[in-house]
Chain A
Amino acid sequence: MPRITRDAEVTWEGSSAKGRGSITAASSGAFAGLPYSEPSRIAAADATETSPEELLAAAHAACFAMSLAAELTRDRTPPERLDVRATVVVDEVEGQGHRVVASELEVRARVRGSDDAAFADATRRADAGCTFSALVRASATVAIDATLEVS
């Protein structure tokens, strides 16, 4: 299989407590100069800057959506629409500092011709096939709450 590489670049200025960084998608150019800082990373969710954890949440939501679309297509019931929310949780673990302890997925799917049992099976396979789920599961919890909507 082909090897695919994707790059990102960061410039950081100053010490961590008062410093600031900026994040650029170097491969695609899809985003550039996203600001982040320590306060935005640990503050309440009303921060106006991004953080590594928000980027991981975006990666997981996108990865899982593609994986589930693939599995439903394999079952000959391609989805009309999938809505996936990923929430990455960081907590201080005694003796280990800050750790990603969980990534929680909430999925709503509109799929013609599927049923609850088939959908649950496709969700399980999507989790196994999503590269990010597999990586996170090695050190943290991946929880999936998936709902099939009747269309």
Chain B
Amino acid sequence: MATERSATTTWRGDLMSGEGTIDAVPSGAFGPLDVSWASRAEEPEGKTSPEELIAAAHSACFAMALSHGLAGGGTPAEELRTSATVTFVPGTGITSIALAVEGRVPGIDEAAFRTAAEAAKEGCPVSTALAAVPEITLDARLAG
């Protein structure tokens, strides 16, 4: 069965001096959030951007897929700390995404953890939706 998730943005004015608002999302989990071109292309100044939201979606999707894979392999995670860094070049688009994870996973070694992380990076729905990004890297390690 298909799952749908929606969000709305209201924008007023031109690109450079106008301002937008991502309205409160249907789940109620966040919003309203302000967006502007200056905060997207220069310093964020407390405002989110499409690229930061993509980073949030990707790090969340990756964490969930990895926890699923680890549990399926008989070594469920106690804690995974993931991050995604999206690099955006205006006029070109998103050029790379760097995923990183540090995991606390009893009973697994580094090699098996890296293999599970690689599978999660390839298989999570956000990764496949963003497969056209030129470079997606992964740094996976166990918490020492």
Residue numbers of A with Cβ under 8 A of B are 1-17, 19, 21, 23-31, 34-36, 38, 40-42, 45, 47-66, 68-70, 72-73, 78-92, 96-101, 131-132, 134-136, 138-140
Contact yes or no, A131 B26, CB < 8 A: no
Name the prevailing secondary structure of the B interface residues. Answer: mixed
Contact yes or no, B20 A66, CB < 8 A: yes
Determine the chain B residues whose CB is within 8 A of the CB of A100 once the complex forms.
Answer: 125-126, 128-129
Residue numbers of B with Cβ under 8 A of A are 1-16, 18, 20, 22, 25-31, 33-35, 37, 39-42, 44-68, 70-71, 76-95, 123-126, 128-133
A3, B135: Cα distance in complex, Å:
14
A96, B129: Cα distance in complex, Å:
12
Contact yes or no, A89 B4, CB < 8 A: yes
Name the prevailing secondary structure of the A interface residues. Answer: mixed
Q: List 11 A-B contacts (CB under 8 A).
A: A2-B89, A10-B59, A13-B79, A15-B67, A19-B64, A28-B48, A30-B46, A30-B47, A36-B60, A80-B13, A87-B4
Contact yes or no, B128 A21, CB < 8 A: no
Contact yes or no, B67 A87, CB < 8 A: no
- Could you list 20 further interchain pairs (A-B, Cβ under 8 angstroms) beyond the known A6-B86, A50-B29, A138-B131? A3-B88, A4-B41, A6-B44, A12-B77, A19-B64, A25-B56, A34-B29, A45-B26, A50-B27, A55-B53, A57-B5, A61-B8, A62-B35, A66-B40, A80-B13, A89-B3, A131-B88, A131-B93, A135-B94, A135-B132
How far, in Å, is A43 (CB) from chain B's closest CB? 8
A47, B92: Cα distance in complex, Å:
36
Contact yes or no, B30 A34, CB < 8 A: yes
